[in-house]
Amino acid sequence: MNSPYHPPVKRSVEIAGHKTSISLEPLFWDMLRDAAASEGVPINALVARIDEERIKSPTPPGLASAIRVWLVSRS
């Protein structure tokens, strides 16, 4: 059994034509990939949607935090 405890992994994504990097633990990258596949959209598109939602928040968290919260609240 693989341990879920692993340092974050940094990957590049493109949001609205701009590249940015996000650091997430492998477990969250797997969850994000699965969520994008289940919704039939690329990871970049899903991250862009999460980013739009987080920006509308009165106190927007960082993008990586918003992704983690979105993934956990979806479960």
Q: How far is CA 57 from CA 12, 49, 51, in A?
A: 24, 13, 10
pLDDT at 3: 77
pLDDT tens figures, 49-70: 999 999 999 999 999 999 999 9
25 three-class SS:
coil
Domain range list for the chain:
9-74
Over range 34-50, report the average pLDDT: 97
Q: Domain 9-74: which topology? A: Ribbon-helix-helix fold (1.10.3990)
Round to whole Å and give the CA distance between 65 and 63.
Answer: 5
Record the tokens describing residue 53, joined without a space.
């939602």
Over range 15-42, report the average pLDDT: 96
Record the tokens describing residue 72, joined without a space.
């956990």
pLDDT at 5: 86
Q: Is residue 17 scored above 60 in pLDDT?
A: yes
pLDDT at 47: 97
